[in-house]
Amino acid sequence: MANVVVVGAQWGDEGKGKIVDWLSERADVIARFQGGHNAGHTLVIDGTVYKLHALPSGVVRGGKLSVIGNGVVLDPWHLVEEIATVRAQGVEITPETLMIAENTPLILPIHGELDRAREAQNAVARIGTTGRGIGPAYEDKVGRRSVRVADLADDATLQTRVDRALVHHDALRRGLGLEPVDRDGLLDRLRAVAPQILEFAGPVWKVMTDARRAGRRILFEGAQGALLDIDFGTYPFVTSSNVIAGQAATGVGVGPTSIDFVLGIVKAYTTRVGEGPFPTELLDADGQRLGERGHEFGTTTGRKRRCGWFDAVLVRQTCATSGVSGIALTKLDVLDGFDELKICVGYDLDGDRIDTLPIAADRQARVTPIYETMPGWHASTEGARSWADLPAEAIKYVRRIEELIQCPVALLSTSPERDDTILVTDPFAD
């Protein structure tokens, strides 16, 4: 059976939650492979709204195994609260339906405190983090001072891990004017939450390997978007993990040959939350209209998203770096009623035309978009479930996007409802 990776191909908020839910009905295993609870997925199922942050989107589908992989950084207290919230909505979550990799690093309260303190004191250039501790937790992971899920099972190991982390963190906190960490208080909190996390812990790499050998369909779920990738995003205004599709393999402990199809989620326009470059950003009535019609507020933070025209240059780049097989184009219905639409087809940099976003931040800041204008449409695309339901101008817009990004449309989403989807290419087809 084919195994599918789902990645955001812009700055996140592309509508991955709905697409993952739509695909998860046909998958056997749904695995989160990176990020933390700074990312949010909103699912609308039979009128019920589920807002997930740490849990894989597959948890709302019965009979599936949802996996949190080692590429994720996990806030255990947040996870316990999120499980309780979803259970209250009638969703069953048990060790048979949810597994957490034993080698998953934990986000501790000290990570959030450090994150917020740094952002508050950064007068040079704010990154625009959510302040949830994701970045500092990844720093501790590569610095070899993380507390990991498996450490919760042995108190002596847990104390050693915490002490190692505090040597580093207390020194940082002194420099930021923060009080030293309450070691005993932190350990008590970890001991208290340990049983609620350890009941879900297991060897994810082995379970994933066994599932693949048994021919079970695996859906790898990414968070955020490729333009926030630590290596290929708009650095330093990025997240602290690799977001592109290659991370799916290392983020759960399988080889790259386990991936058969990469589905890039792409919004029919462009949005971004937080700081950083945004060549096609609109600060006029059109931008306001996109935000209002698209309900562009972050699932996790509630922050208003910046809105702009579709940037084909950026999406072409992310399709290349993630090896995207096909895209799921979402929120086409938000464009209903515009007299004309613009697509960025290149950039002007100091009088020269370029067809990629520069890596250097100073050059990124100087690019201006080169637009191609297309006619809009006044008929509604909302709820369309076949090409025949779409206005001719909408079809032309979609086809032009395919040409410019050099990647075909596999799915087309026309509303938040999961069934309002046009299937062009089945990602799970053998």
Determine which one of 21, 37, 41, 111 is catalytic.
41
Indicate if 13 belongs to the active site. Answer: yes
Determine which one of 13, 21, 151, 311 is catalytic.
13
Indicate if 41 belongs to the active site. Answer: yes
Half-sphere exposure of 308 (CA within 13 A, CB side): 23
* DSSP single-letter state for residue 7: E
Residues known to be catalytic: 13, 41
